[in-house]
Amino acid sequence: MIDWEKQFPVVSINRADLTEFGFTDEQIATIFTDEVMEQIVSRMQERYFLTSSYFFWEDMLQAIRTFTQIPHERSTIHGKSRQPLREESDTGNSV
């Protein structure tokens, strides 16, 4: 039987990612506790879903098409009508 509720994480972060913003090892070790990291992740997840939900679903459909090689038609998502997925050119523009 399929577990419809099984989670498949999309993105994860770790403390090493913080060096991209110029934080020192000492700052990371003292400021970024597990609790703070979990709060950061929670905020990022919320913002990604709430502000970019259209892009989330489009990214997911693109990934499905890429890895399954099956042509998919987009059903109504958040009030959008059904339309076939478009292929993208090498420049990333829809064709």
Domain boundaries, the chain: 42-86
What's 94's DSSP letter? B
Side chain identity at 94, as an amino acid letter? Answer: S
Count of other CB atoms within 10 angstroms of residue 85: 15
Bridge partner list, 74: 83
Asked whether the whole model's pTM tops 0.75, one would answer: no
Distance between first and last Cα of the chain: 39
Q: What is the pLDDT of residues 16-69, one digit of tens each?
A: 999 999 999 999 999 999 999 999 988 888 877 776 667 777 888 888 888 887
Side chain identity at 9, as an amino acid letter? Answer: P
